[in-house]
Amino acid sequence: MRKKEATILIVDDDDDILFSARISLKKYFSEIITENNPKKISNHITISTVDVVLLDMNYRIGFEDGKEGLYWLKHIKEISPETTVILMTAFGNVNLAVDAIKKGATDFILKPWKTEKLYGVVNAGLELSRSKRKNTQLQTVQKQQDKDFHQQTEHIIGFSPAMQTAVKLVKKVAPTDANILILGENGTGKFVFAKEIHLLSQRKNHPFIHVDLGSLNENLFESELFGYAKGAFTDAHKDTLGRFELAKGGTIFLDEIGNLPLHLQSKLLTVIQNRKVTRLGEGKERDLDVRIICATNAPIHKMVDEQTFRQDLLFRINTIELNLPPLRQRVEDIELLANHFLKKLNQKYRKK
């Protein structure tokens, strides 16, 4: 059996317990650290990325109230919130362990333990720790994306009557929560307008999640958009959020919606209509709090007539319909755009 890459810290003032736990776990995990002095916990956690701490409840002879264990539990959660803490306790302290779980511990194991039970508890703790770290990383990435997003947002360039009409509509509808369908040929700025709507909305401080439905594999549609539960399919090793849940509180931009096959349109319609999403492999419905913006370069109204796009889905996504003009219909803006891009490229390549 291949060892899992993980760092497990065992803290107990009984060296026999440390030895036993180390022997039980070292064949399953890559690094086992033992420590008989809880005051050194900080050193281990700051030096290494500790995934799981097995923590004894009592360290003073004659004291079985578990106060020290609770103190160190709080200390660990403060300096490393992603680390899973599992308490080790004697049978008589089960109520104390349950109380500790309310204060942030993940689980407890009774002494003496069976190796299989110890491995099971620690392994579950490891998966939880990794999940928390991934969520923290996602949040960090999202914050950075949001920061970049605000910095990189293009201003809408154009003073032609056609563009001014579009901009006027954007300013009017952006503060609402209405679903918006952006129509226009390739290159007309559908993505730029979607970002601008988000930035002018009440949701501007929450995520903007872009989904290119045109490039999304049909087999991945549900798992990507709705998420999946652990065990839903072969490689589903953990619960995973879909794009709709990642956009919580913000905006989801469904680009190239005209490319979506009919059988997937019905699934999307159900989610938009009910404002609830169900992860693949799970029966629980989760409420959605997102603003939906869709876009396509396809003749979507004609597709409804040809029955290649669902009319009821079109009704749901185009509470407001925004048509973007191609450049040939806004020739007044060509010089303005040329100068804009010239300025950007001068800055990028440090040229004049």
Does 153-349 match 4-130 at the fold level? yes
Highest mean pLDDT among 77-86, 91-100, 182-191: 182-191
Look over the chain and give the mean of its residue pLDDT values, rounded to a whole number: 87
- The kind and range of the H/E element at 5 are strand 4-11
Highest mean pLDDT among 34-48, 188-202, 236-250: 188-202
| pLDDT tens-digit map of 283-326 | 888 899 999 999 999 999 999 999 999 999 999 999 999 999 99
Q: Tell me what pLDDT residue 113 has.
A: 87
Q: Is the pLDDT of residue 92 over 60?
A: no
In words, the CATH class of domain 153-349 is alpha beta
3-state DSSP call for residue 228?
strand
Q: Is the pLDDT of residue 150 over 90?
A: no
Confidence of residue 266 (pLDDT cuts 50, 70, 90): very high
Q: Is the pLDDT of residue 239 over 90?
A: no
Segment 146-173 shows an average pLDDT of 79
Closest CA to 32 of 56, 54, 57, 16: 54
Confidence of residue 63 (pLDDT cuts 50, 70, 90): low
How far apart, in whole angstroms, are the C-alpha atoms of residue 29 and residue 5? 6
CATH of the domain spanning 4-130, picked from 3.40.228.10, 3.30.70.20, 3.40.50.2300, 3.40.50.150: 3.40.50.2300
Q: Is the pLDDT of residue 184 over 60?
A: yes
Structure token digits, residue 338: 């040329």
Q: Tell me what pLDDT residue 71 has.
A: 87
How far apart, in whole angstroms, are the C-alpha atoms of residue 110 and residue 91? 6
How far apart, in whole angstroms, are the C-alpha atoms of residue 245 and residue 288? 7
Segments making up each domain of the chain, as ranges:
4-130, 153-349
Q: Tell me what pLDDT residue 196 has.
A: 94
Confidence of residue 69 (pLDDT cuts 50, 70, 90): confident
Q: Tell me what pLDDT residue 137 has.
A: 63
Q: Tell me what pLDDT residue 149 has.
A: 58
Residue labelled with tokens 């010239």: 342
Confidence of residue 81 (pLDDT cuts 50, 70, 90): confident
- The kind and range of the H/E element at 53 are strand 52-56
CA distances from 138 to 9, 166, 210, 220, 234 (A): 26, 34, 15, 20, 23
Q: How far is CA 102 from the centre of its chain?
A: 25
Pick 160 or 150 by higher pLDDT.
160
The amino acid at 150 = H
Q: Model pTM?
A: 0.62
Q: Spell 159-183 as b/e; 16+ CB within 10 A means b.
A: ebebbeebeebbeebbeeeebbbbb
Segment 35-59 shows an average pLDDT of 88
| pLDDT tens-digit map of 323-348 | 999 999 999 999 999 998 899 899 98
Confidence of residue 143 (pLDDT cuts 50, 70, 90): low
Residue 276, CB half-sphere, CA atoms under 13 Å: how many?
Answer: 6
Q: Tell me what pLDDT residue 228 has.
A: 87
Q: Is the pLDDT of residue 185 over 60?
A: yes
Q: Is the pLDDT of residue 182 over 90?
A: yes
Pick 113 or 155 by higher pLDDT.
113
Which segments of 256-319 does DSSP mark as H helices, in order? 262-274, 300-305, 311-317
Confidence of residue 87 (pLDDT cuts 50, 70, 90): confident
Q: Is the pLDDT of residue 61 over 70?
A: no
Q: Tell me what pLDDT residue 154 has.
A: 59
How far apart, in whole angstroms, are the C-alpha atoms of residue 251 and residue 332? 32
Confidence of residue 152 (pLDDT cuts 50, 70, 90): low
Greatest alpha-carbon span in the chain = 87
Residue 8: Cβ within 10 Å count: 26
DSSP readout, 127-162?
A: HHHHHHHHHHHHHHHHHHHHHHHHHHPPPPP--SHH
SS3 letters across 327-350? HHHCHHHHHHHHHHHHHHHHHHHC
How far apart, in whole angstroms, are the C-alpha atoms of residue 28 and residue 5? 9
Q: Tell me what pLDDT residue 119 has.
A: 92
